[in-house]
Structure 1
Amino acid sequence: MSPDPSFLYTTNQVLEALATLSYGVNHRKGFIVLTGDVGTGKTTILNIFMQWLRAQNAATAFVYNPRLRPEELLDFILADFHVRCPSTIKSRRLLRLTDWLLEKHREGQPVVLVVDEAQQLSADVLEELRLLTNLETPTEKLLQIVLSGQPELDALLAQPSLRQLRQRITLRCRTGAFSAEQTKEYIEQRLHIAGAERRDIFSAEAIACIHEISGGIARVINVLCEQALIHAFCENKTTIAPETIEVIAREYHYAAQNLASV
């Protein structure tokens, strides 16, 4: 269930998202937004992106708890960037951050702030982030900010009070659910990476059932498959049938409305 980059299944949408993120950083675009429904792989993409940033020698900060006040956000950013400032006065802390960003710019080192679960950010914190992007040279932004969140993030950014921030978003990318064929390939790839010698552990009917119940959402597919493997092991079965998937779906209250049609 953890967003392990080694299990990444690269659809065209995933490749487009990674290309958009890397392009935005390389060209100092300022704000980039990544959105997608729950369980569609946003955090896995961010982990891949963070690995790429480290390979580019970029300075990074990752905000995983968006429920912060503006002053707490600044403290978190300074701490994650390892920027020391003995003063507790906000203006001096901002000056210290600006000096550090200019130093990194002179060294040619990108600086990237990633905010996960950004749909939970308050309007005040979003405004604080917008003001941070005012730190710039005549030609480019000193700080690149990636906002990642569920579709509610789009609705949040659409508020009239955030129009200044919205105008600064230069790039957007999305994650989505798998098609039926992608669900099959996703399951087979994960089995292969995990060391399975057989690709037919899940019957074709079971995979169709998994797709129907999960709606192609990767996280739900993972839960259904993992529990199905445990059930099959306990019952000494070598192939997983759709009936096993239906039992697990009911246990976990997944897509009960779909079960009648499976």
Structure 2
Amino acid sequence: MYLSYWKLNEKPFENSPDPKFLYYSPQHEEGLARLIYVVREGKGAGLLTGTYGCGKTLLGNALYQELEKDIYRVAFLTNPRLDSVEMLRMIIHFLGGTNIPQRKSDILISLEEILKSNLRDGKKTVIVIDEAHAIEENSVFEEIRLLLNFQIENRFLLTLLILGQPELKNKIDSIKQLTQRIAMRYHLESLNQEETSSYIKHRLKIAGNDGDIFEDQTFNLIYERSGGIPRRINQICDIGLLTGMTHQLQKINVNIMKEAIETLER
């Protein structure tokens, strides 16, 4: 609606996890580097936590883009509210399995065959479980732990990456056998004030605008109201662009941003 007005090629503040818009703050760069390290070195399991809206899923998608498609087979689970059998069946599905069995014992045999087949073909298997904090059944976490029992000559047949909100850490730590196999842990914090400003400018540039749509004073306000959480920054800036257009402004000032934010907080 406001793209032509602000001379943008696409919406800069959508909350879909598009790696093209990933802003590499120092911690996001570090987080991605650690995920890549765990996968490339076959470390077994990695844990990435962070507040809601801080970019965990986006980092997961960025990792997927980084991995060579002719080498890595990736199962990316985004709906963790499954029982243990459903989760295993979904993993097989995303790894390209067909005619998936119904019985759990047969499912495990099928999964092991896929993992061994990938290994024979020179492929590496990666399983990403996003929003894992939403897992309710302990049996699912136990099944996640047992996935790491798929080994040949002390070599993991898969790499497991578990992503979720901060409370996930306590759930993982309550399962001693699982936490012992977590080779990497990293926690994403919200952006600081300077990073918030850079984040906004970065997304506008990717969307096709090299100018200064937001006056400098607005960045402090956006940071204060968003807490530096990217998802919230996106919501505020999106409504700010719309409000600025309706007022026919050339630049968005603090007063307009306050008006825009009030519409979100009513």
Is the contact between residue 85 and residue 93 of structure 1 (CA under 8 Å) also seen in structure 2? no
5 Å matches for 1:14-25? 14-25=28-39
DSSP 3-state at the match of 2:108: helix
Q: Is the 8 A contact 1:59 1:81 kept in 2?
A: yes
**CA deviation after TM superposition for structure 1 residue 153, in Å:** 0.5
Q: Which residue type is aligned with residue 194 of structure 1? A: A
Q: Secondary structure of 1:111's match?
A: strand
Counterpart secondary structure, 2:155: coil
Aligned counterpart for 1:107 among listed residues 121, 126, 129: 121
In the alignment, the residues of structure 1 paired with residue 126 and residue 73 of structure 2 have an alpha-carbon distance, to the nearest angstrom, of 6
Distance 1:155 1:87, change over 3 A: closer
Q: Which runs of 4+ in 1 moved over 3 A?
A: none
Contact 1:53 1:60 in 2 (8 A): no
The answer to whether the aligner puts 1:228 opposite 2:240 as a matched pair is yes
- Looking at secondary structure, tell me which structure has more helix per residue: 1
Match of residue 186 from structure 2: 173
Q: 1:62 aligns with which of 52, 60, 76?
A: 76
| Aligned residues between the structures | 251
Seq. identity, %: 36
Q: State which of 140, 158, 164 in structure 1 corresponds to 2:173.
A: 158
Q: Which runs of 5+ in 2 are unaligned?
A: 1-14
SS in 2 for 1:252: helix
From 191, 196, 203, the counterpart of 1:190 = 203
Which residue is 2:10 aligned to?
none
Report SS of the residue matched to 2:156.
coil
**Structure ranking higher on relative contact order (CA contacts 8 Å, 6+ apart):** 2
Counterparts of residues 201-220 of structure 1 (less than 5 Å): 201-220=213-232
Q: Is the 8 A contact 2:73 2:124 kept in 1?
A: yes
1:86: Cα distance to partner? 5.4
Look up the equivalent residue of 1:193 and give its one-letter code: I
Match of 2:11 in 1: none
Amino acid across the alignment from 2:77:
V
> Quick one: which amino acid aligns to residue 154 of structure 1?
K
TM norm structure 2: 0.90
1: distance between equivalents of 2:161 and 2:105? 24
Q: 2:8 — aligned with what?
A: none
Which residue of structure 1 aligns with residue 89 of structure 2?
75
Higher alpha-carbon deviation: 87-96 or 101-110? 87-96
| TM-score, normalization by structure 1 | 0.91
Tell me what 2:145 maps to: 130
